């Protein structure tokens, strides 16, 4: 599997040229020049023979997947469509304008800002000079005294925006980029001013900042009952879950409970935030349920399912772009893209003809009503002359002006002409770019790469599922590798994890009095400390010492043994110490199934090679070896 993962980072196939053939694999033909362009990185790292061997494996897996109809499956096609869209999105804007924006958002994402925003009602500045406006704003700032409550009071009197009057943590994808920059530039605990492009005056107070947790998926268990009865039910549910009861059993007992998986990006509730902080570094199997949390509707318990922290820019950039696109925050990129396109050879603007058109317009609307052009002149051309949709002539512009100009606005004709020209060229530039963008070689290569990698991923998944279900093959694998898959030593017994030494002493007394495991389970059933932690956790079976947290140099024998383990005291009632015991099929499935999956996939690839028709061009390969070996 590690080998296959390495393939996915290095390999793809594209045949854009016709050169010397390097190798054929069944019906696939690979040309030397294409191979060099795509796999020079692998050739440098691994050398020629290994690179070609790995490439053959990669191609055979793809061919196997195609033969099994992997590329026709609904899940493959759905993911491929999503990947295509992400690639097209990521390549649509040139990197010189896209990367700085994504990097800036990525940097801002690392910290959440708790902010209040105050937008002055423009009536407050009516009949005031610029100096008087400034004095008025300064007076309000002094009255606030950098206090969140006084900010609320002033905002309720003077602000036209009520959403941000109270302090709340900011979703950076919910507001204008310029305002966002002003918020992140603001110091903590001091009111600052900001004026937007439309002349609106703002006051901003950032009162706190904290680590942003990312996008969090939670299992939510909910009781829609805010009364004391709802509280009793949720506390009983919490106790059962802490004691290891399954959620399905809890739902059968309490008909009012509902559960679902939810996605959260921001956490108004501090209890939820602190719960996630406490669980985020734990492995999924070790994550605990949150304590019951009060809501307006009732009570909830959460369990952390998945956390995407956005800590790696290379992994986060496409997700950030998606958020910007979903929230219509790409206007800045569109403007910059248009500026770039205007510098391309396919854009031609005849500034002399445009100026002549404007200067030759009649001085009054009455004369303009009968005004016409003597001859057709191209003002702006985008791309090919054969496509009239991308040519703005003086006549087309005049026709638009006839609809726009009136006797009331004719004095502003120069401004209106500029606006019409800018709107036309911006709209047509984007149209032209979109029509031709997806034919670019870079886009084609990336799309092909994604198809190949996704095909291999789904084919490996198919082979993996086949391996999981192959009981006969797994048993043969165990028989053929007996010397490797053997338990050197396992402890057979009952294992009691005690919360503290007081519980340990009590448990040892029960064991001394010959209480059975069933008796002890009943004795400690539903017993917890004040934080609802179970007093004793009981496991039975055969375990290697390392699974129990016991060091290899610890000497063990039958009987009762007490050790420190997993932040608790471990009391072991050891029945037997078993040495050199072969793994059972169940053990293999539970602990070492990955070994069998890796083995089985490599065996499948060997079989594919045996059945394939592979022809190598030795002269071409020797030429590569001179450079890369």
> What span, in angstroms and rounded, lies between the C-alpha atoms of 442 and 455?
20
Percent of the chain with pLDDT over 90: 53
> What span, in angstroms and rounded, lies between the C-alpha atoms of 59 and 43?
17
Q: Please give the average per-residue pLDDT across 155-159, as a whole number.
A: 91
Question: For residue 106, which of 331, 321, 276, 280 has the smallest C-alpha distance?
Answer: 321
Question: For residue 53, which of 626, 612, 546 has the smallest C-alpha distance?
Answer: 612
236 exposed, middle or buried (CB, 10 Å; 0-12, 13-18, 19+)?
A: middle
- pLDDT score for 371: 93
Q: Are 153 and 165 in contact (CB under 8 A)?
A: no
- pLDDT score for 377: 95
- CA 512, 517, 523, 529 dihedral sign is positive
Residue 7 has pLDDT above 60, yes or no: no
Q: In 10 A of CB 614, how many CB atoms?
A: 13
At 153, give phi and psi (nearest 5°): -65, -45
Q: What pLDDT band is residue 440 in, cutting at 50, 70 and 90?
A: low
pLDDT tens across 568-623, in order? Answer: 789 999 999 999 999 999 989 988 899 999 999 999 999 999 999 999 999 999 99
Q: What is the pTM of this model?
A: 0.59
- The C-alpha angle 21, 26, 32, rounded to 5 degrees, equals 20
Token pair of 25 as six digits:
């694999």
- pLDDT score for 2: 45
- CA 364, 367, 372, 377 dihedral sign is negative
Residue 5 has pLDDT above 50, yes or no: no
> What span, in angstroms and rounded, lies between the C-alpha atoms of 477 and 582?
12
Q: What pLDDT band is residue 12 in, cutting at 50, 70 and 90?
A: very low
Question: For residue 410, which of 366, 371, 380 has the smallest C-alpha distance?
Answer: 366
Kindly compute the dihedral angle of the four CA atoms of residues 531, 533, 535, 541, in this order, to the nearest 10 degrees.
Answer: 180
Q: What pLDDT band is residue 162 in, cutting at 50, 70 and 90?
A: confident
Q: Return the beta strands (E) in 328-390 as ranges.
A: 347-349, 378-382
- Collect all residues with Cβ–Cβ distance below 8 Å to 380 and sequence separation of at least 6: 347, 348, 349, 350, 354, 391, 392, 421, 424, 425
Q: Which helix (H) or strand (E) holds 538?
A: strand 536-543
Q: How far is CA 457 from CA 128, 413, 599, in A?
A: 67, 61, 17
Token pair of 344 as six digits:
């391309």
Token pair of 362 as six digits:
């009649």
At 283, give phi and psi (nearest 5°): -65, 150
pLDDT tens across 68-105, in order? Answer: 999 999 999 999 988 887 777 767 888 889 999 999 99
Q: What is the mean pLDDT of the chain?
A: 88
pLDDT tens across 399-433, in order? Answer: 999 999 999 999 999 999 999 999 999 999 998 88
Q: Which helix (H) or strand (E) holds 223?
A: strand 215-223
121 exposed, middle or buried (CB, 10 Å; 0-12, 13-18, 19+)?
A: middle
Q: Are 35 and 10 in contact (CB under 8 A)?
A: no
Residue 558 has pLDDT above 80, yes or no: yes
First to last CA, the chain: 26
Q: Return the beta strands (E) in 408-558 as ranges.
A: 486-498, 536-543
Q: How far is CA 580 from CA 112, 258, 262, 486, 548, in A?
A: 55, 48, 47, 6, 18
> What span, in angstroms and rounded, lies between the C-alpha atoms of 99 and 216?
25
What sections of 186-255 are H helices per DSSP? 228-242, 247-253
Kindly compute the dihedral angle of the four CA atoms of residues 541, 545, 546, 552, in this order, to the nearest 10 degrees.
Answer: -170
Q: Please give the average per-residue pLDDT across 118-140, as a whole number.
A: 90
Percent of the chain with pLDDT over 70: 94
> What span, in angstroms and rounded, lies between the C-alpha atoms of 266 and 457?
33
> What span, in angstroms and rounded, lies between the C-alpha atoms of 411 and 628?
73
């Amino acid at each position: 599997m590690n080998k296959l993962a390495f393939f996915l980072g290095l390999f793809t196939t594209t045949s854009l040229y016709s050169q010397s053939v390097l190798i054929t694999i069944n019906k696939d033909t690979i040309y030397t020049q294409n191979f060099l362009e795509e796999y020079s990185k692998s050739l440098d790292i691994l050398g020629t023979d290994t690179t070609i061997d790995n490439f053959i494996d990669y191609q055979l897996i793809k061919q196997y997947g195609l033969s099994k109809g992997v590329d026709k499956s609904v899940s493959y096609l759905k993911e491929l469509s999503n990947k295509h869209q992400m690639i097209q999105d990521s390549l649509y804007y040139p990197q010189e304008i896209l990367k700085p924006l994504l990097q800036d958002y990525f940097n801002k994402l690392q910290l959440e800002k708790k902010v209040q925003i105050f937008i002055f009602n423009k009536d407050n500045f009516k009949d005031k000079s610029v100096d008087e406006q400034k004095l008025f704003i300064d007076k309000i700032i002094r009255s606030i005294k950098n206090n969140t409550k006084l900010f609320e009071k002033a905002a309720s009197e003077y602000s036209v925006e009520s959403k941000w009057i109270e302090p709340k943590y900011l979703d950076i994808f919910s507001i204008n980029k310029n305002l966002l920059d002003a918020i992140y530039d603001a110091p903590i605990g001091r009111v600052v001013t900001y004026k937007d492009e439309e002349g609106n005056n703002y006051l901003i107070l950032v009162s706190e900042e904290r680590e942003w947790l990312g996008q969090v998926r939670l299992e939510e268990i909910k009781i829609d009952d805010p009364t004391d009865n709802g509280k009793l039910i949720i506390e009983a549910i919490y106790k059962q879950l802490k004691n290891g009861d399954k959620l399905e059993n809890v739902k059968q007992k309490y008909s009012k409970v509902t559960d679902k998986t939810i996605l959260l990006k921001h956490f108004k509730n501090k209890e939820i935030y602190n719960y996630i902080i406490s669980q985020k570094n734990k492995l999924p199997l070790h994550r605990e349920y949150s304590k019951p949390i009060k809501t307006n509707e009732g009570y909830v318990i959460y369990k952390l399912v998945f956390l995407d922290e956005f800590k790696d820019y290379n992994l986060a950039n496409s997700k950030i772009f998606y958020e910007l696109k979903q929230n219509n925050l790409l206007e800045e990129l569109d403007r910059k893209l248009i500026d770039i396109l205007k510098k391309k050879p396919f854009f031609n603007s005849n500034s002399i003809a445009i100026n002549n058109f404007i200067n030759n317009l009649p001085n009054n609307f009455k004369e303009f009503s009968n005004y016409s052009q003597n001859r057709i002149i191209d003002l702006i051309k985008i791309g090919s002359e054969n496509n009239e949709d991308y040519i703005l002539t003086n006549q087309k512009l005049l026709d638009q002006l006839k609809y726009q100009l009136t006797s009331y606005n004719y004095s502003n004709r120069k401004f209106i002409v500029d606006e019409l020209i800018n709107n036309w060229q911006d709209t047509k530039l984007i149209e032209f770019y979109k029509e031709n963008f997806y034919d670019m070689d870079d886009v084609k290569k990336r799309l092909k790469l994604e198809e190949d990698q996704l095909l291999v991923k789904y084919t490996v998944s198919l082979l993996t599922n086949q391996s999981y279900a192959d009981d006969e093959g797994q048993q043969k694998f165990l028989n053929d590798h007996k010397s490797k898959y053997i338990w050197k030593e396992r402890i057979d017994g009952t294992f009691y994890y005690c919360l503290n030494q007081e519980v340990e002493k009590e448990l040892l007394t029960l064991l001394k009095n010959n209480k059975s495991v069933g008796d002890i389970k009943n004795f400690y059933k539903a017993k917890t400390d004040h934080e609802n932690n179970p007093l004793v956790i009981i496991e039975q079976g055969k375990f290697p010492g390392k699974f129990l947290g016991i060091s290899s140099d610890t000497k063990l024998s039958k009987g009762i043994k007490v050790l420190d383990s997993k932040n608790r005291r471990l009391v072991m009632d050891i029945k037997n110490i078993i040495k050199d015991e072969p793994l059972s099929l169940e053990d293999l499935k539970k602990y070492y199934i990955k070994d069998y999956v890796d083995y089985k996939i490599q065996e499948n690839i060997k079989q594919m090679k045996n059945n394939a028709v592979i022809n190598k061009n030795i002269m071409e390969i020797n030429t590569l070896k001179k450079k890369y070996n």
